[in-house]
Amino acid sequence: MLIRHRHSIRPSEITPEKVFRNRRQLLRDAGLAGSGLFLAAGCAAEDDSPELRKLDVKRGSPFSTDESPNSFEDIISYNNFYEFGLDKSDPARHAGKFKPKPWTVTVAGEAAKTGTFDFDDIVGPHDIEERVYRFRCVEAWSMVIPWNGIPLGDMLKRFEPTSKAKYVAFETVVRPEEMPGQRRRVLDFPYVEGLTIEEAMHPLTLMAIGVYGVELPNQNGAPIRLVVPWKYGFKSIKSIVKITFTEQEPPTTWNLAAPREYGFYANVNPEVDHPRWSQARERRIGGGFFDEKQPTLMLNGYGEQVASLYEGLDLRKFY
């Protein structure tokens, strides 16, 4: 896949999140936001997204990295979300018409409590955490992102999975009228993903509902998405509408589309190259295009916490 690198500025030139928000306020006060002259994240959008609600973030997390996070603009303007287009800038450009409210999530499969639940019932009552995670894409770029959410395991326990629940499957919403990328049939939508029950219950795995202290922007998976920081980004499925506890390994979108390239586990492993490029090094978004790449960390640097999940498993074979 051809990657167009739009960020060639130095880190010192990146707009801090606080300054970005002040700029939004100034534009709003000047009456520009409603006129269509305000272009979010520096790129033209089909229409303006609604203001993002501030979240009541209760605490930080001992799992957070001490690395400096990317800017808010980096995070909302450069990402993969094929439901809105193939280019990294397409989600920010085309997600304005998407409506993340109201929202429901269906829980099914091997659990005592199943059904369709409102967003607030799925999320609460839990204290929202901020976790600053490294986030690694299979295409050799990375970010550091301050996600806001709740541990996925805490959420799943409320549905009382049975002993037959060996895996957890996830499904993204299908709304081609709001998500133009779904009309192109590049992938077989809905987008589906899955984890082992042990991965899903691990305390590092986060169900995110926000970033930088505000609710998720549409282009980042509003209103609810998965974040599995030791895996490549495509495992962190967005805009989730269904969660299913299963006894068998569930199908996953990229494994179905290209099984030789994308395995079920998708753990960050610098020793396993993608068939079309090396995964040994990565470029941090926000630096200059010609900045030297940095070495990719095994399990994205979270090996101390999660390596025990894969004892006895050949991570070159089960990629």
Residue 1 domain-assigned (yes or no): no
pLDDT on residue 48: 52
In a domain, 318, yes or no: no
Mean pLDDT by 10 residues, the chain (319 residues): 35 39 38 33 46 94 96 97 97 98 98 98 94 96 98 98 98 98 94 98 98 98 98 98 98 97 97 93 85 93 98 94
Please check whether residue 297 lies inside any domain of the structure: yes
Question: Is residue 130 a part of any domain in this protein?
Answer: yes
| pLDDT of amino acid 49 | 55
6 lies in some domain: no
316 assigned to some structural domain: no
> Is 31 inside any structural domain?
yes
Q: How many domains does the chain have?
A: 1
Q: What 3 state SS string does the chain have?
A: CCCCCCCCCCHHHCCCHHHHHHHHHHHHHCCCHHHCCCCHHHCCCCCCCCCCCECCEEECCCCCCCCCCCCHHHHHHCCCCHHHCCCCCHHHHHCCCCCCCCCEEEEEECECCCEEEEHHHHHCCCCEEEEEEEEECCCCEEEEEEEEEEEHHHHHHCCCECCCCCEEEEEECCCCCCCHHHHCCCCCCCCEEEEEHHHHHCCCCEEEEEECCEECCHHHCCCCEEECCCECHHHCCCCEEEEEEECCCCCCHHHHHCCCCCCCCCECCCCCCECCECCCEEEEECECCCCCCEECCHHHHCHHHHHHHHCCCCCCCCC
Say what the pLDDT of residue 290 is: 72
Residue 291: the pLDDT is: 77
* Structural domain range at position 206: 11-310
**What pLDDT was estimated at residue 10?**
33
The answer to whether position 3 is within a domain reads no
State the CATH number of the domain containing residue 277: 3.90.420.10
Position 50 scores a pLDDT of: 64
